[in-house]
Each structure stands twice: as structure tokens, then as C-alpha cells.
Chains A and B, each alone.
Chain A
Amino acid sequence: ETGVTQSPTHLIKTRGQQVTLRCSSQSGHNTVSWYQQALGQGPQFIFQYYREEENGRGNFPPRFSGLQFPNYSSELNVNALELDDSALYLCASSSLVASADEQYFGPGTRLTVT
């Protein structure tokens, strides 16, 4: 059974650019949640996808968008990057929507916006 994987590991972008981060969920999992962790802070919920549909969103602007594919892998897209978008982006997968403690996190993608 493979765990949650994320790519790329690190990324440097310039303000105003667009970025796509990828997440492969754990085998058998159909729910993916994305979080943003700024330096010295806890992860902040961005949104969740369940069976290819958005299933809840945190307090993030529309330039943060996502997709989930039929194999349950997921993408996080951020348009018009701002300096404050620099953070560790974590995805987490689970087999059930209502199962917080069955959620497994990937190692994250470190995004730096200059």
C-alpha cells in the first residue's frame, strides 16, 4: 500500500505567476483535502474533494482552485501568486468523508514566491 505522495517537493515562482501542485492519494482513498501551512503556523484548510466534487472550502480566495481525477489524485492550482502564498502545501487523503482521524498527510510541497 503506497502512502500519500506530493510533487514537486520544492518550487520557486515569481509573483503573478500560476502554479499547479499535485497529490496522489493513498490506495483506496476517495477524499483529498488540501492545507496551507505558513512558517510558524498550523495548517489551514483550503478545500476538500470527494469523488471529484468540491466538498467544502476554507477562507481562501477563488484564485485557489482544485481538481480531483477519477483515480482520486488531485491538483491544487493557484493563480496570480502573491508573496504571502509562500508556504508548505499539504494534502491529506482518507477513505471516508467523515473520518478525520483516518486522514493521512503527504510530506508537502514547499512553495516560495519571490
Chain B
Amino acid sequence: DQQVKQNSPSLSVQEGRISILNCDYTNSMFDYFLWYKKYPAEGPTFLISISSIKDKNEDGRFTVFLNKSAKHLSLHIVPSQPGDSAVYFCAASSGNTGKLIFGQGTTLQVKP
């Protein structure tokens, strides 16, 4: 049973435009959510996180939105840059532990 789902395997956007990556979860016990970026031959790199007590968190070009009633979160990247091209994973945990449940990933391609 996939508790964290990323339904879009891939996304292609033009440089300078907004990238929106989506993630849905089913377990209402999840209270901490994270986004990771992964380049080939490297491990995932932490990008941004959000606690369930918030509905938005910003860090530079990256903003994560959380809609608890819909059990949905999204990552916005504005403006998108070619260097943002990577696989993006959303992950969730109960109690902000290192035991993360990951989605399947979305491959983002930003075209120059």
C-alpha cells in the first residue's frame, strides 16, 4: 500500500517558469513532510520541509504548501533553472524522525 504518492512520473517546464510538483498521502499520522532532490549517481539531498502545524514554508525559490484536509502537498520552484533538473521525492514521517516514507519520485526537466 503506497502511503505517499507522486502521480506524475515526469514534468517538463521552460526555464524561468514555475515548476509545481505534487504529492498525496494517505496516513493521517504523518505530521512532517520533506522534499528531496536527487541527481544521478548521488544520494537524495534535502531541499525543504514543513510541519503539519503550518500550511506553507518558503526557502528562496522553493515553497512547499500543505493542505491537510486534502492530504496533499506541493513544491513550487520559481523561477525554474536548468540546474533544477533532477528527480524530486516527497517524503513523510510521524514525529519528525529519520524513518521516512517516500513517494515514487517525479523527474523534472527544465529546458533552457
Chain A residues within 8 Å of B, Cβ to Cβ: 4, 31, 33, 35, 40-45, 48, 56, 58, 90, 92, 94, 97-108
Chain B residues with CB below 8 A from A103, complex form: 46, 98, 100
Q: How far in angstroms is the closest Cβ of chain B from A114?
A: 22
B97 within 8 A of A: yes
Question: Which of B4, B41, B43 contacts A105, CB < 8 Å?
Answer: B43
Contact with A along B81-99 (1 / 0, CB 8 A): 0000000010101011111
Task: Kindly state the separation between the CA atoms of A20 and B46 in the bound complex, as whole angstroms.
Answer: 27
**How many residues from B make CB contacts under 8 Å with A?**
26
When the two chains form their complex, are residues B99 and A45 in contact, meaning their CB atoms are under 8 A apart? Answer: yes
User: Told that A40-B104, A44-B102, A48-B97 touch, could you supply 15 new A-B pairs with CB distance under 8 A?
Assistant: A41-B105, A42-B102, A43-B102, A48-B98, A92-B98, A98-B97, A99-B98, A100-B34, A100-B96, A100-B100, A101-B46, A103-B46, A103-B98, A105-B45, A108-B43
B80 within 8 A of A: no
When the two chains form their complex, are residues A43 and B97 in contact, meaning their CB atoms are under 8 A apart? Answer: no
Q: How far in angstroms is the closest Cβ of chain A from B105?
A: 5
Task: Kindly state the separation between the CA atoms of A101 and B97 in the bound complex, as whole angstroms.
Answer: 9
Nearest CB in chain A to that of B103: its residue: A42
When the two chains form their complex, are residues A42 and B105 in contact, meaning their CB atoms are under 8 A apart? Answer: yes
When the two chains form their complex, are residues B100 and A45 in contact, meaning their CB atoms are under 8 A apart? Answer: yes
When the two chains form their complex, are residues B98 and A107 in contact, meaning their CB atoms are under 8 A apart? Answer: no
Nearest CB in chain A to that of B105: its residue: A42
